[in-house]
Amino acid sequence: MTERDLRLIHPSPPPERRQIVPSAVLGTTIFIGTEVMLFAGFISAYSISAAAAPMWPPPNQPRLPLEMTAINTTALVLSAVAMWWAGRQFAQGPAKARLAYLAALALGTFFVVFQGFEWYRLLAEGLGLTTSTHASFFYLIVGMHALHVIGALGAMFALFRALGRGTLSPDVFAAARLYWYFVVGLWPILYWRVYL
Amino acid sequence: MIAVVASTLLACAVCFDPADQAFSRALLGMSVFLSLLPLGMLGGGAWYVVRKVRALESHLPPHPDA
């Protein structure tokens, strides 16, 4: 009996299936794709409205807080750096990632609270949702981003508890990091288009 | 087609004033942006998968029948 005959009788086991992308990361990536198109639509509408307006932003309306928001932007970018560091630490042991993860959470929370404070100040100065087209776009785009940050923070707080219990899977953590990078990476683009 | 007949395409009800160059540029730019963005995302995804598969294949032992 030849080796070929033996292989026909006892075929070799099927090759091991290997995931190219973890399911959690793939699902998050597809979701991010839809989010990218949502914000691209907003930016597109904003840009066309800005180009059509004789003055943009319209005169006689409160000025957007460029400098303070730049500081807030820095905090958000730092939170992504902390998240990246948490990812690196996680590979060495989940417990080691806790401090960096907590820093990312704290900086993200700071961003949302600070932005809430800025909105409160702008509303007090008379910049409402219906003050102008510019103001409407501002609240819509920045508010939608803030909702995404709040949602991501909620998920991250839940995952932080799992991290503390030692039940956070690397795939879910990778998906959470990916979403946070998206939320953070999107903000400088929005800041550039809406504030500057 | 957008690039070739841009002035005709701008003759729509929502284009305010086709003579407004800034507006026309924004409309054309955003049309191109929104058209290319999904293609870029799909292309990026395909590129990532191909790269990952090649990396995995380079670590696999040779097939016994090869």
pTM of the complete model:
0.84
Q: How far apart are CA A45 and CA A76, in angstroms?
A: 25
Q: For an interface test with A, give the residue of B14, B35, B37 to mutate (most A CBs within 10 A).
A: B37
Q: How far apart are CA A146 and CA A31, in angstroms?
A: 17
The full set of domain ranges for chain A reads 25-51+64-195
pLDDT tens string, chain A, 196 residues long: the values are: 666 666 666 666 666 677 788 999 999 999 999 999 999 999 999 999 998 888 889 888 899 999 999 999 999 999 999 999 999 999 998 989 999 999 999 999 999 999 999 999 999 999 999 999 999 999 999 999 999 999 999 999 999 999 999 899 999 999 999 999 999 999 999 999 999 8
pLDDT tens per residue, range A69-85: 999 999 999 999 999 99
pLDDT for B58: 85
A27 in contact with B, Cβ within 8 Å: no
pLDDT for A132: 92
DSSP secondary structure code for residue A97 in this structure: G
Shortest Cα distance, chain B CAs vs residue A29, angstroms: 9
Q: What is the ipTM of this complex?
A: 0.77
CATH class name, domain A25-51+64-195? mainly alpha
